[in-house]
Amino acid sequence: MTPDQYCQNRVLRSGSSFYYSFLFLPNEQRLAIHALYAFCREVDDVVDECSDPVIARQKLQWWRSEIANMLEGNPQHPVAKALLPAMAAFKLPSAHLIEIIDGMQMDLDYNRYPDFATLEIYCYRVAGVVGLLAAEIFGYKDPSTREFARQLGIALQLTNIIRDVREDIGRNRVYIPLKDLEQFGVQVDDIVLYRETDAFKSLISHQITRAISHYERAASSLCAQDRRSQRASLIMGNIYRTLLDEIRQGGCKVLSERTALPPLRKFWIAWKTWITST
């Protein structure tokens, strides 16, 4: 199996909506974004699948060293080998890869986030930075497109947090800021015990409103001349924004059910966005 095939398999196995945003890309861009996505999955899995935080930190440190190896032209891991030509072709800053690892490490430092300011740092590192790297791969002319990519990345991560509240509590993690819980009269135990109270649903509705504000900031930052090159990002934004709408229309019941869009609907959103974003 080649490094590129390894990365493609990581994308396919994940079942992620990102797959649909990559479908229509030219080959060089698709290989690069697959490699970037696979890198994110690898370092995220370190935290999610390793029960010993000491070992998890060691594994993240190994990835930091692997980035250094990549810069020296001697990567060991298939993902790093696939990333190497992408780094050169699209001039991707290695510092951004380190920032992504810093974000993953926050999951070892926090299992509760005191306020949105702290959570926003996390979202920026694990998703906003990924958006910035993706923007370089897709290409742009106006520097404001970088703000589009950053805001969209944060919006996507906030959407993941809203969708995955039940799954995350199974890992003893609560990403919804504690200050927000206090504001809406929700206790952490309400989430731990899956109490889907009216107050909790109002809390989730507030989180959705916040995420939508980041989608709107992203949209306002994307100039017309870069809409075509950023179509893959627009696809992802439209799929996830639709998911948020479904969660809200379903009554914000993220503790009792996991909202997901069927593959055919994702493909339809992807195709429609691709042909209309010119």
- 170-191 CB burial, b ≥16 within 10 A, e <16: eeebbbbbbebbeebebeeebb
DSSP 182-233: HHTT--HHHHHTT---HHHHHHHHHHHHHHHHHHHHHHHH--GGGTTTTHHH
- Per-residue pLDDT reduced to its tens digit, 151-171: 999 999 999 999 999 999 999
Q: Where is pLDDT greater, at 211 or 10?
A: 211
Of the chain, the percentage scoring pLDDT greater than 70 comes to 98
- Per-residue pLDDT reduced to its tens digit, 133-157: 999 999 999 999 999 999 999 999 9
In total, the chain counts a number of residues equal to: 278
Separation between Cα atoms, residue 162 and residue 265, nearest integer Å: 20
The answer to whether 137 touches 32, Cβ cutoff 8 Å, is yes
What's residue 206's pLDDT?
A: 97
pTM reported for the whole predicted model = 0.94
Closest CA to 130 of 44, 188, 191, 206: 44
The answer to whether 22 touches 231, Cβ cutoff 8 Å, is no
What does the pLDDT average to over 243-263? 93
Model confidence at 239: pLDDT above 70: yes
What does the pLDDT average to over 241-264? 94
What's residue 278's pLDDT?
A: 67
What's residue 244's pLDDT?
A: 96
